[in-house]
Amino acid sequence: MDTVKLTRRTVKMRDFSQLPLNPHPVFPQWSTWDVYPHQYYGSMRKYVVERDYLMPGLENDFLRVEVNADIGGRIWRVHDKVADRDMCNFNSEVHTYNAGFGLNYTSGGIECNYPLAHSPTTSRQRELSAAEHEDGSASIIISEYERIWRTRWSVTYTLFPDRSCLQMRVRIYNRSRHDSRYMYWGNCGFVLSDDTQYLFPDYGAAMHGEEHRIFSWPMWQHRDLSYYREVPPEMLGLYMLDTRDPWFGYWDHGAGFGLAHYADLTDLPGRKHWTWGTHPGQAAVRARTHHSSGQVFGEIQSGRIVIQEHKDLMPPETEHEWTEVWFPVRETGAFNSAGPGGAMRTEVLEAAPERSKIHVSAMGNGFFPGAVLTVTSDGAKPVTRHLPLQPTSATGATLILKGMAAPDRNTTLTVSNPDGEVLIRHRLRPPSTRDCWREVVDRKAKVAVTAEELFRVAGEKARDWGNHDLRPLLGASLKVDEGFSPARRELGKWATWQGLYDEAGEHFRHALDRDPDAFETRYHYGVALMLAGNIEEARKQLQLGSRADSEARCLVRLAEISMREGDFHQALKHLNRATAMAPRLTRPRVMRAACLRRAGDLSRAADEIAAAGCVDAQDPFLQMERVFISAGSTSVDDLPARGITQLIEQVRAFEPPLLEAAFDYLACGLYPEAEGTLRVIPDPGPMALYTLAWVLRQLGRGAQSQRMLARAAKADVVGHCPWRLEMIPILEWAAQAAPDEPRAVFLRGNLLMARRRTEDAVALWRKALKMGESHSQLAANLGFYEKWRGSDLQARLGMFGKAAEADPSDLYVKRELAMALQATRGAQAVIAYLEGEIDAVMSSPPLAYSLLNAYLAANIYDEFDALCEKVDFSANWQLAGPHSLWLQRHFRQALQMIARGELEQALGMLLNLAPAPAHLGVAQLDTEDDRRFYHIGCIYEKLGDCEKAREYWEQCVAIAHFTGYEPAYWNKEWSARYFQALSLQKLGRESEANALFDAMELLSRVPELPLAARQQIIKMVERGRFAPDGQKDPAGEDVVEVQTKAEA
């Protein structure tokens, strides 16, 4: 093809869905991740439905690429037309489940994660546009206004006519006034077989979830972890360390096929290996629940940061852009180098001081007929060979080097174009023989004492991907040195983020007393003063801070002040300097165009927009300014329909990016433009309506403002969380303008809770409740507060009861109400409530779980079994449901039968125990055989059949266990081995039993395990050693489950 074919179609696929999204706001005080204002993916239902998905595509002679615009804009499929197979994991169904920051991991293809790992929108609609280029290439652009830090990012997928590589160009831009944090990972899934080898040219790795745990690569515990067949049973992710080569990939030795990734290490120094492990039972479940063809897959990932769990810092008014390529490889064998032009396998067949023989096999990702291979080595004359590359097959060559080819001779093979462009480069490296499994590491905890050390601890937490409140850590630094300026500066930023501008100013002033030349501090002080309305003092601080790295961002803020004052000529002076210094920052360029338009120079304004569009043509702020320039008006009735339609289609009619563009205009005091932007939002929610009401008030249209206020108060708040600092004064004004209307009070409480102003938020919620706010979310918020931060069980029960009355369809509230009933009134109250909500129970695995668990607590087995016969949760595997309780139910009754002397009945139950029936959910194949075989042996012993008893105890002892890499696995596996210790006791092998008990006792003293887990383990040891036979099984006690960090 001379040009890449650009397509757009709708594809119908089965969706294993958990929608709708969880309607309740994700407040950081009681959520695993701090992702407000995003909603979590649903976690109360699992069902199969057919949906239509928008699937634009790119195609040339070598690749056919499909992008799922409705699943985060991920690469859904890359089909290698030459090999007639998929380059990465392709799903003909949509499998999404609760994992990652948005609890919405979807398997398949290549997933782009920003600003968090498996970010909240990675499985939701993102902005979509496309472009065709003069060189015959074509692009699909996925873009997004990111709401947590108010940054903007995009990924441009490009296919070229004569290349077999998919290029991804990623741009991230902090266009906000504040620092932002982010992670970026490009995550490629691919089907695994015993012949699959992960190709990483690295010698060591850090474990996902336990970054201090270092693995040698590829050898670990006498296994070559690069081969999937040698990966241990449990899931494992590894971040490669000390990377020196800009490539990685995989190779399937059986299929003779692989994939390579290349990117400059300046841009993407991170790379990661991921597998869910090789445990047969777990692999079977994963194959059924993750892949439409019933196959197991793994992942290789590229990263902006070496350790995925670290968040990088991006100051205001900064941007980054990088390019990475993915391409198929065939015929080379397991390649050991790759570059922008292809991949190559290098083998040294003979190596001697006088003569070395080297064979290479290389495949290009394009046509490079003039490519030349050059071999250099210390002490030897370079050897050159013509090595034409093509994307359809590999090219081989054998060369003789008159000298030694070895790593210590810096032997290097370079494939380059005639113009000197390097296509592939390989440096001989010694094989790694290290196996760190046998190394004993003494890792002593660092005790922070000085202000600098305590500040470092706070900095580590700031980088960590967890949900952290840094104020106590920063405050600890001030207890040592109350004037320590870095801690004061960061506390000032925190207070600004919370909307506590006086407190922020105090911190910034203390910081400047110690370090008056800290331009960063002056910038952030100026921002706090701007937000507080102290414009003159803000101007002063920004002028003083307009130096070095802070100059561009200070100039943009100064331009905003001048534009508010109507001084567009002064604003242009600031913006001219800022855009000259940083021409790729699009927001100040759009501001400059707005100034030119306001000054009457429409031609120059249009030129400025065109220039900014070369960087990010998808920015809604830019597009709104373009239509204002084109129309010569800001009235929505005058705006060109085509431009507005294209914008609405691009953002998928989603409100937040358009609302952010309106706030861009409000930051500059341009109220007519803000009104025009707000009025093009197709279906405005409460945030847009409150903002429009406030804008109308600023424009002197009081009657319209009041009508808009009334409309805003009636708009549903689900999915519309206030998150901008600028909304605080707007909601305060709304509460004053409509003093009898509680909605603005309620929403301001949400915003303050999200900003960790807990008590202020709760006071506003309670005020709104007294004022008559009836939305179920308010009562639920207060219920969650009592659950996680309060101590009043009755208040918790009352609030969830009120929320359930306000919205009888809310399954999350029903579950919370059931748990509150359990805590206050016991199992019978739960049974009475949920039996009255049987339709909801039949639709929701977690609600069914709650009712079944109550039946178990009350020993009502007939009702348990009757409910299990009625439900159909066959699509569910991850959510708690009947399948989660199946084994517990049968063990519980069997042990009760044993206690009553009903031995034959108990024996029959345990001998015939099988995994949960398919209609209850996709269950693990494990039937807790350690425990089952132990009890079967005990029953046979009571029945007098000692030979049978010994047979089952021996079977129990013979079960293999992999200890695992992290505390979750230790807890799980050793809790099972407890029954092996009991079986060893029965077999008379007391020393072996005591060895297991001793190991468990030592494990109970390991600080990495949570306290509850350690307490449970030591109680088991005590039971095993001292309790009578009938009391050794800890049945009926709550099982402490330790969350694995591997799939966080």
pLDDT band for position 950 (cuts 50, 70, 90): very high
- Of the candidates 850, 927, 949, 939, the one whose C-alpha atom is nearest the C-alpha of residue 895 is 939
Q: Looking at this protein, which amino acid is placed at residue 12?
A: K
- Percent pLDDT > 90 in the chain is 94
- Positions of E strands within 72-150: 74-80, 85-86, 93-97, 105-106, 110-113, 127-132, 138-146
pLDDT tens for each residue of 511-520: 999 999 999 9
Q: Specify the length of the chain in residues.
A: 1048
Q: Round to whole Å and give the CA distance between 720 and 335.
A: 50
1047 or 880: which leads in pLDDT = 880
C-beta of residue 976 within 8 angstroms of C-beta of residue 924: no
Average pLDDT (985-1002) is 97
Average pLDDT (70-78) is 98
Average pLDDT (479-503) is 98
Does residue 178 have a pLDDT over 80? yes
pLDDT tens for each residue of 362-419: 999 999 999 999 999 999 999 999 999 999 999 999 999 999 999 999 999 999 999 9
C-beta of residue 1010 within 8 angstroms of C-beta of residue 961: no
Domains in the chain, please, with CATH? 5-327 (2.70.98.10), 331-427 (2.60.40)
Measure the CA dihedral 176/177/183/188, to 10°: 10
Does residue 718 have a pLDDT over 80? yes
Q: Round to whole Å and give the CA distance between 636 and 672.
A: 10
Question: What tokens were used for 183?
Answer: 């992670």
Please give the DSSP secondary-structure letter assigned to residue 310: B
According to the model, what pLDDT value does residue 453 have?
Answer: 96
Helix (H, G, I), strand (E, B) or coil at 21: coil
Compute φ and ψ for 855, nearest 5 degrees: -60, -45
According to the model, what pLDDT value does residue 439 have?
Answer: 86
CB neighbour list of residue 382: distance below 8 Å, 6 or more residues apart: 374, 375, 376
pLDDT tens for each residue of 885-915: 999 999 999 999 999 999 999 999 999 999 9
pLDDT tens for each residue of 445-465: 789 999 999 999 999 999 999
Compute φ and ψ for 740, nearest 5 degrees: -95, 0
- Find residue 262's DSSP bridge partners: 247, 325
According to the model, what pLDDT value does residue 1046 have?
Answer: 62
Q: What is the DSSP string of 618-665?
A: T-HHHHHHHHHHHHT---GGGS-HHHHHHHHHHTTT-HHHHHHHHHHH
Q: Round to whole Å and give the CA distance between 627 and 611.
A: 15
Q: What is the DSSP string of 739-769?
A: TT--HHHHHHHHHHHHTT-HHHHHHHHHHHH
- Of the candidates 495, 553, 392, 503, the one whose C-alpha atom is nearest the C-alpha of residue 62 is 392
CB neighbour list of residue 394: distance below 8 Å, 6 or more residues apart: 330, 331, 332, 361, 362, 363
Compute φ and ψ for 268, nearest 5 degrees: -130, 80
Q: Round to whole Å and give the CA distance between 665 and 670.
A: 5
Q: Looking at this protein, which amino acid is placed at residue 372?
A: V
959 alpha carbon, distance to own chain's centre: 36
Instruction: Give the 3-state DSSP-derived string for 1008-1026, with helices as H, strands as E and coil as C.
Output: CCCHHHHHHHHHHHHHHHH
Q: Round to whole Å and give the CA distance between 260 and 87.
A: 10
According to the model, what pLDDT value does residue 1048 have?
Answer: 53
- Find residue 328's DSSP bridge partners: 259
- In terms of DSSP H, where are the helices of 256-413? 280-290
Compute φ and ψ for 448, nearest 5 degrees: -80, 130
Report the greatest alpha carbon distance in the chain. 102
Helix (H, G, I), strand (E, B) or coil at 800: helix
For residue 749, with 0-12 CB atoms within 10 Å meaning exposed, 13-18 middle and 19 or more buried, which class applies? buried
C-beta of residue 515 within 8 angstroms of C-beta of residue 543: no
Cis preceding linkage at 115, omega within 30: yes
pLDDT tens for each residue of 635-663: 999 999 999 999 999 999 999 999 999 99
pLDDT tens for each residue of 682-703: 999 999 999 999 999 999 999 9
Across the chain, mean pLDDT equals 96
Cis preceding linkage at 882, omega within 30: no
Q: Round to whole Å and give the CA distance between 407 and 614.
A: 45
pLDDT band for position 924 (cuts 50, 70, 90): confident
CB neighbour list of residue 54: distance below 8 Å, 6 or more residues apart: 8, 10, 68, 69, 70, 128
Does residue 441 have a pLDDT over 80? no
C-beta of residue 921 within 8 angstroms of C-beta of residue 846: no
pTM: 0.96
Q: Which helix (H) or strand (E) holds 931?
A: helix 929-943
According to the model, what pLDDT value does residue 790 have?
Answer: 87
CB neighbour list of residue 661: distance below 8 Å, 6 or more residues apart: 620, 621, 624, 677
Q: How far is CA 631 from CA 658, 682, 872, in A?
A: 18, 20, 57
CB neighbour list of residue 94: distance below 8 Å, 6 or more residues apart: 13, 14, 15, 16, 17, 51, 53, 71, 106
For residue 784, with 0-12 CB atoms within 10 Å meaning exposed, 13-18 middle and 19 or more buried, which class applies? buried
Q: Looking at this protein, which amino acid is placed at residue 1029?
A: D
Does residue 539 have a pLDDT over 60? yes
